Structure 1
Amino acid sequence: MDQISFKNIQKIGETVYENERYIHVHDSKLTLRYDSNYIEFKHMPTLAEFDQAAAYLREYHLMRNQHHMKFYFPENEEISGELAHHLKEQGYEVGFMELYAIHPQQFTKVNGLASMIEIKEVTEEDLEIYMELQYEQEAVNGVDFAKQKRQVHQDNFLSENVKQILAYYQKEPAGSLDLILTDTTVEIDGFNVREQFQKQGIGSKLQKYVMDVYKDKTVILVADGEDTPREMYRRQNYNCLGFQYEAQKC
């Protein structure tokens, strides 16, 4: 498997400032999206370095009516006990993401329910169905956030490097995912199955579609390191390639 890291994962936003310690990413159109407005450290910061970066980001965000704080730490490095304690005292939620990859031929075999589940690429005909499904999922994080994301989905629909995939269960829209394409990889993003359709094999069928269509690429994705889907990916023969800690607060 080619060398793959978190740098292969798409991040929406522009680098607005960079120094020897960190990169600052901002998106003026997605101000409510934490993962588009953050600082990523190049090396594990000392307490003083973290506090300096936090003060800078806080001022930058407040000037733009943004109230969250988000930080990524260097991949495959644990946060020291001292820094972890400091983050907790400051009210940050600390977690980590895991990077997974698989060659399509290694994906576990999927059986049953084929006649009940239809997987298809989004076209003009069902774009609005896809948009409504995204809104339903994203409104959990706030209506304003869901409205901001609508333009992203419209732009993705027109992009040659993004494919939007829908799953129907007995002709009802049941789940979706986005595929971000490069010459060698396919990134699965925005993977969701509506609650009432879970445990029906829809998630596996969505992934099987990806494996069948992109047999010559490496499939990659990021999962919450403390959530249950990561166990599913391991059972499906994905390889865990690394982890990355993050801290955020609103």
Structure 2
Amino acid sequence: MTHILIIEDEAKAARELANILKHIDDDINILAILDSVEECLQWFTVNKQPDLIFSDIQLADGLCFDLYNKVNIRSPVVFCTAFDEYMMNAFDTNAVSYLLKPVTREKVEKALDKFHTLKSVFEKNEHNKGLPGLLNQLKNNYKSVLLVHQKEKIIPVQVREIAYFYLDKTIVYITTLSHQRFYLTNTLEDLENALDPSMFYRANRQFIINKAAIANAERFFARKLVVKLVADTPEHLIVSKAKASDFLQWLEG
């Protein structure tokens, strides 16, 4: 029996999801349908963690991430939302899948198949016990594609083609190796956690840079470094004295 908790503030969407789950597998038990962060907080104080959670992101009284910041959720989560802008935040949790609404039987089946596959693989692993451990390993599956918005279009950008990420006040811009420019809703902190550290380096508060985009680095005043990229940058890219040695080791290795 797979015990599933549904977190969804739209009653119709919650009923449809519950019906889909029951039709897919008779061994699925819907523990509860909750519609707010507050209701979830109360539920988790008196109930055991479910085997799996299907969760919307925007709830009646806030974002579901408010719940995960307050409760140590050990259960894997399938996120169901109408927005793709929270994808990076979602995979900072125990996410196993991210479904864009409308949620269909096909999407739910794929998410359940992934959940059962991961569970099965993990149970055969002699060195790591428990699904949460496997989920922690999954977090090292770094992003290979980012979705950017340009007017009405959603454009997939290959991460390896991004020269650098740049924070301008509160907006993060990306510039590609082919000199295209887009903006993101993510923070640099989100991106730093989602990018392969062997490929990308947080040079300072404004820049995350791709190793493939580095033309050269020059010694600068007070043992700092000035890094020049193959793509133009809006300001000098300075690596501090404190980070200079670490940066050069990263660049070499």
TM-score interval, normalised by the smaller of the two chains: under 0.3
- For the pair shown, which has the larger CA radius of gyration, 1 or 2? 2
Structure ranking higher on relative contact order (CA contacts 8 Å, 6+ apart): 1
Give the TM-score normalised by the residue count of structure 2: 0.22
